[in-house]
Structure 1
Amino acid sequence: MEKAKQVRGRAHLRKQYNKRFLAINSDAKRKIGPNSQSQ
């Protein structure tokens, strides 16, 4: 039970993290191109 709870919490965190990462990635992807070196 405790393990399942941890996994659930982790999944939730991962989902939120993914959302933020996706947003950041979207911006980075748009910037990527000739400015590949510029992070």
Structure 2
Amino acid sequence: MTYHAAMNATIKGETSKYFGGKKGMTRNKHRMMKLVRYLSR
């Protein structure tokens, strides 16, 4: 996933699709931020 795709997915709330629902959402948001930071390095 590119940086832009990651941001779009976050904005649309599609992260729940990729990361398995709202139960692990907070934890996966941290993972998403790590991914975004890694990609935008």
TM-score, reference length from structure 2: 0.41
Larger RCO (CA within 8 A; separation ≥ 6): 2
Q: TM-score, normalised by structure 1?
A: 0.43
Specify the structure having the higher radius of gyration (Cα).
1
